[in-house]
Structure 1
Amino acid sequence: MSHRAGGLAGVWAEAQRQQQRQYEARQRERAAAQREERRRHQAATRADRELRAQYKREREAEAQRRTAELEGRVAELSGLLVKGCGAPPFGTASLMREQGPLEPFAPGALAHPVPLPDPARYRPAGGGWSQARRQAALQEARQRYEHDLRAAQYAQEQRTRQLAEYRRAYDEWAAGVRAGTQRHNDSVRAMAAGLRDGEAATVVEYFSAALYASTAWPDAFPRQVSAAFDGFAGELVLDWELPPYEAVPEVKSVRYVASADEEREVARPVTQRRALYRDTLAQCVLLVLRDVFAADEFGVLRAVALNGFAEGPDPATGRRTRVYLASVDVRRADFEALNLELVSPVDCLVDGLRGRLSTRPEQLAAVAHGRLPGDVGAGAVVSHGAGEEPDLFEMDPLEFEELVAELFRARGMRALTTRRSGDGGVDVDALDPDPISGGKIVVQVKRYRNTVPPTAVRDLYGTVQDQGANKGLLVTTSGFGNGSRAFANGKPLQLVSGPELVELLHRYGLRGRLGEGGGTGAGIGVGVGAGSDTGAGPGATLVDVPQADPDAATLGMVWAGQVALDVCALVCRGGRVLSDDHFVFFNNRRTPDGSVAMVEPSRGDRAAIRVGFDRLPPGADRLVLVAAVDPVANPEADLSGFTDAGVLLRDASGAELDRLAVSDGRPGETALVLGSFRRRAGGDWDFVLGGKGYRGGLEALVGDFGIEVE
C-alpha cells in the first residue's frame, strides 16, 4: 500500500505559494506602472521645457528682427548721401531707346507648301469581269484624283495669299516698332535741344525727372518739388519736401523680457534722434544738389537755389503750411569743389556752402528761405506745390498730360510728354526700368466727364501693337464701362479711372481733385445716365443705375466659408447715421422712404440689399455696408472664415453688372466695415473700400456711427 505525500497540508502549502506568486505579480505590475508614470511625467516635463524654450527663442528672435530692422533704417538714413553719390547720373542718353532685334517672322504652318496628291495612290477600286466595269472603276479613280488635286491647288493658293498678308502685316508691325523707337528718340533729341537752348519748361521738366529718377531716396520719403528756371541768371530754383521727424525711429532696440512675457522697446536718446534727423535733412539737401548738377550734361545751370521744406502747422494760424527748414544758394564751381562722400553733411551745408539749416527741425523751427520758384516770374514752371487742389476737369490739357508724366516719374519711371513731336496717338511716353516686368509703356490721357467709349480702348490697343510697347495705359478723369473692361481683359492694357488717378496722385505727393467734391476716393462710381456702355470690371469704373427704376440696383453679398453673417447698411452724413431708422438690419429691414431695403438674395448671393441711389435723402452723402457674425447661428465664430468676399452689383433683372472686392476678415474680429458708397459733387457715387474690424461685434461697430445700443 503506497503512501501519498502532502495530504491536506500539501494543498494548503500550494495555495499559499499561488497567493504569494499572485501578490508578487501585482507588486511587479504596480512597480512597472509607477515607473511608466514617472517616465511619462518626466517626458512631459522635458517636452514642456522644450516648448517653453522654443517659445522663448521665437520671441527673442522676433525682438532681434525688429531691432535689426530699426538699425537698418538708421543705417539707411546715415548712408543716404554716400549711396546717392554712387548712383549713375541722370542724362538724356539714358532716355534714348535702343532698337533691339525684333521677333523674327514666324509664319508657322503657312511656311510649308500644301502637298499635291500622288497619282500612283489613286488606283481603281475593285474592277469586274467586263470591260465596261473596269472602265467605270478607272474613271472613278481619275475623278477622285482630280478632285483632290483641285482642293490641294486651292489650299495652296489660299496659303500663298495668307502668307503674303501675314508677311505684309509683319512688315508693317516691324516698321511701326522702328518708327516708334525713332519717334521716341526724336522726342528725346528735341528735349535735349530745348535743354541746351535753356528753354524754361524743358529745363524744369528735365531736372524734375532727374530728381524723381534717383534710386537713393527711401520709399517712405516724400518727393514733392516745385521748380522754376531763371534763364537770364542760369539759376534753377527749387522747393523740395524734406522727410518728417518721424522718419528717424523713436525706438532704438527691442528686447524680450521672459518674466513678463512681453517685448519692451528701448527708446532712442532724444539728443541722438535729433542729431540724426538734422544730419538726414542736410544729406537730403546735398543729394538734391548732387543729382541736379550731375544731370546737367550741357552746362545749363550756373547756380541752384534750393529750399527744403516740411509740412506743418503755422504757429500763427494753426493751418497746415510749408515750413522751410533748410536753404542754400550754390554756384556750380563751389559745389564741384566738394568731395561729398567724405564730408560731414551738416558742416558742409552750413559752413562749406554757407547755407541755413534749422537748429531744431524736429520742432519745425523755420529758417529764412531764399529765392522761391514763384519769385522767378514769367520763367517759372511749377511742377507741383502747395495750395488748393487743382480741379483735373478744369486743368489745361497739356498741364494734365504733364501731371500724368510726373506721376510716372514719381513711381521711379522715365516719362516724357510727346507734345513736341507727332505723338502717333501717345500723350505720355514712359519707360519702366525694371529688367523683368518693365519696358516701354504708352499712355493716352482722356480728360472726360462722361464714360470713356470702348473705341478709345481699342484705339489704344492698336497703338500698343503699332509701337511694339510692353503695355498701354489709358488714364481718364471719368471711368470705363463693361465693354471697355471686357475688351481690355487678357491684353497688355490697364485702365485708370478718375478716382484711381486721384488716389495715385495723393499717394505720390501730387495734387488733384475731381470737381468741387474732391473726388479722392478710389472705387466704383455709381452714376445715372452715363451712356450705353454701362457697368464696370475690376477696379474703379463707372456703373449706370437705370433711370427708369431708381430701385433697380441690388447689392448682393458673397463670401467663402461657413460663417453666418448679418449684412447691414447705414445711410450716413459723414461718419454719422442720419437716424436710427436709417440703419437697415434684421430688425429694421428698410429706411422710412424705402430707398434702402433688405431683400431676399438670389443667384448664389448670401445676402442682398436693394438701393435706389437717386432716392437717398438729400442730406446723405454715403451708404456704408457692414457685416457682423450672427451671434445666434455662430456664437463662437469670428471673421477668420470670411474670405474671397465681394459685393455684386445687379440690375433689375438680377444680371451682374460688376463685382466689388472687399477685405477679408481677421481672427478675433466679429464685425467689419465692408466699404461705403460716397456721393460725388455731380451726383454720382464712388465705392471706397473699407476694412476696419471690430472685436465687439455689430454693437461696437454701429456705436462708431452714432447709434446707441441698449
Structure 2
Amino acid sequence: MSRRSNGLIGIWAEAQRQQQRQREAEHRERTQAQREQERQQRAHEREAARLDREQRAAYRQRREAGARRRTEELDARVAELTGVLLTGCGEPAFTAAALRRSEEVEPFQPGHLARPVPMPDPALYRFARPQFEQDWHTAQLAEAQRQQQLAAYRQQYEQWAADRLAETRAHNAGVEEMTAALRRRDPDAVVEYFSAALYASAAWPEEFPHQLSAAYDPGARQLVLTWELPGYDLVPAAKSVRYMPTADQDKETARPVAQRRAIHRDVLAQSVLLVLRELFAADEFGALESVSVNGFVDDHDPATGRRAEIVLAAVAVSRPVFEGLRLEQVSAVDCLTDGLGGQLSARPDQLTAVRPGRMPDEVGQGVVSHGGGEDPDLYAMDPIEFEQLVAQLFRARGMRAVMTQRSNDGGVDVEALDPDPISGGRIIVQVKRYRKTVPPTAVRDLYGTVQGAGANKGVLVTTSGFGPGSYAFANGKPLTLVSGEELVGLLGRHGLRGRLGDTSATPPRRGASAGAGTDAGAGGTGTGAGTGGPEGGAAPDPAAAHNVLGMSWSGGVALDICALVCRGTQVLSDDHFVFYNNPATPDGSVRSVPPAAEDKAAVRVSFDTLPATADRLVLVAAVDPQVDPRADLTGFTDARIRLCDASGAELGQLEVSDGRPGETALVLGSFRRRANGDWDFVLGGQGYGGGLEALVREFGIEVA
C-alpha cells in the first residue's frame, strides 16, 4: 500500500508535474499554430496557382481571339476583292439625276431661342410682392432679349438660306446644260459625265486607285479611256494568323503564291468588267456605241527602271455584245479574255505588259480634267503625286523624306527622318486617300508596321477622317493621325497647295439644335459619303450610327455614371446633363442604356448628331448617396471605358484614373471635338469631395 508524501519532496514533485503539463500544452499550441500556418500557406499557394492559371488562360484566350480576328479580317479582305464585280452589279446605275441637288433648304432651327422665358406665378408670391415684381421685371427683360436674339438669328438664317438656294439653282442649271450637251454628244460633256459615273461608284474598295484619262470619238460613238488598276500588294500576303503560346507571339501563315497571283489576276479582270458595266449602265442618253478600256498600273517598268503606266489589261466592247452578258454569273478572267476577246497579263505581279488598245490621245479630242480651281484636288490627284506631296510636306518641316517602292514596301509609303537628337528618329508614313472614315484596322496595321520596322513613330495621313475607335487605339502609342482638314492646313502653312474636293456652306446653328455632318468626302461630281445635312435633307436618325461607351471598375462601391454635353466647361443646358433622372438629351444623341454583361454602366452616343455648339462630351462618376451614404471613391479602381460600335464590337479601351480617399465624384474624361470634326478622348482625373452636386456646379448647373 503506497503512501502519498505531504512533505517537501511531494510539493516539489507536484510543481514539476505542473510545469511538465504546461510545457506540453505550449508545445501542442505551437504545433497546432505551425500546422495552421502551413495549411494557410498551402491554401494561399493553391489560390495563387489557380489565379495564375486563370490569368494565363485569359491571356491566351485574348491572344487567340486576336489571332482569329486578324484571320477573319484577312478572309473578309479576300472576300471583298473577289466580290468586287458582284457588288458592283448590285449597285444602282449612275444617272444625271445624281448630280442634281435638292432645293429643299434645312428648316429654321432656333433651338432654345424658340422657347419663351416663363413668367413668375403670382400665386407663389402671396406674401412677397416686392420679390414678385423684381422677378417679373427680370423675366420681362430676359424675354425681350430672347426675342431680339431670335429675330437676329432668323435674319441670319434667311440670308444663308437665300444664298444656299441660289447656289443650288446655279449648280442644277449647270447640270441641265451638261445634260443638253450630252444629248448633242459633246465630247467634253461625255467625258465629264462618264468620268463622274466611275468616280461615284460605291463598288470600288477604298484602297483602289481612281485615276483615269479619257476621250470621246463622236463619229464612232466610242469612249476611249485608261483606268488605273490595283497593284499586286493589295492582295494579303498572309492567309491566316495563329497564336504560338510557347513563343508568345502571332505567327502568320503565308498565302500560297499561286493563289495570291490568281486572286490578283481575277481582281484586274473584275475591275475592267466593272468599268464597262458602270459606263454602259450610266448611258441614259445613247452616247456610247462602244467602249475601249486600257487598264494600267503606275509602277517602275522592269525594262527601263523608270516609272511608267504599264498596261496589264485591254479590251474594246460594243454595246450589243456587252448587253448579252450576265456579269453576276461569269468568271471574270474567262469573260474578259474569251467572251470579249480582251487581253489580260499572264503575270501581272511581274508587270508583264500587254499590247494596249486604242488610247485617248489617239482620238483627237481633248481630255476633260477634273477638280478645277487654283489648288489641286487631293481626291483627284494622281496617287504617286499625292505621296510625293506628303513627302514634300515632311521635307518642308525640316526632315529628310523619301518615297518607297510601290511593291514590297511593307505598308510604308514614305519614310522620314527627323534629325532632332532628342525627339527625332525614323518615321513611318502611310497615306490613305479615302473618302470615308479610316477604319481602326488601318491604325492597328500601322502600329504593327512601326513595331516591325523598329521605327520611332508612325504617321497616318488621310484625305478623310478618323473615328473615336482609331483615336482610342492610338492613345498612348507613338502614332499620329492626320485628317484631311489638318493636312490641308499643314500644306497651307508650309507653302504647299491642296484642297478636299468642293466645299459647301453649312447653316448657322444655335441652342439645342442637332448638328448634321457635311459631306467632306465628295470630290468633283461624286456623291460622297456624308452623314447628312442641308444638302442631303434631314439629319440622320441618331440610332442609325452611334457608339456605346461601356464602363466597368473594381470594388463594390455603388456609382452613378453621368454625361454632360458641353461647350468648353459649361453644359449646354440642364437638359444636356444625362443622369438617373434625365436618361437622354432632348435630341437623343446621348442616352443611358443597359450595360453589356462585362460592364456596370453604359452610355450610347451619336457623335455625328451632337449639337453643333457642343465641343466636348464629359463623362463623370459619383457615389450613390442613397446606397452608400458614407462611401467614397477608394473602391473605384481598375476602371476603364470600352468603346464599341453600334453592333457591340469593341473598338478600343480607354483607361481612366482611380478614385482617391475623401472624393465622392470624379471626372473620368471627355471626348473633345477636333477642328476637323473628329472626336478625341482626353483623360480626366479631377475629383470632388462634395459629390455630384459639387461637380455639376463647376459645369454651370444650378443645384437647388
How high is the TM-score relative to the length of structure 2?
A: 0.50
Give 1 or 2 for the bigger CA radius of gyration.
1
Relative contact order (alpha carbons < 8 A, sep ≥ 6): 1 or 2 greater?
2
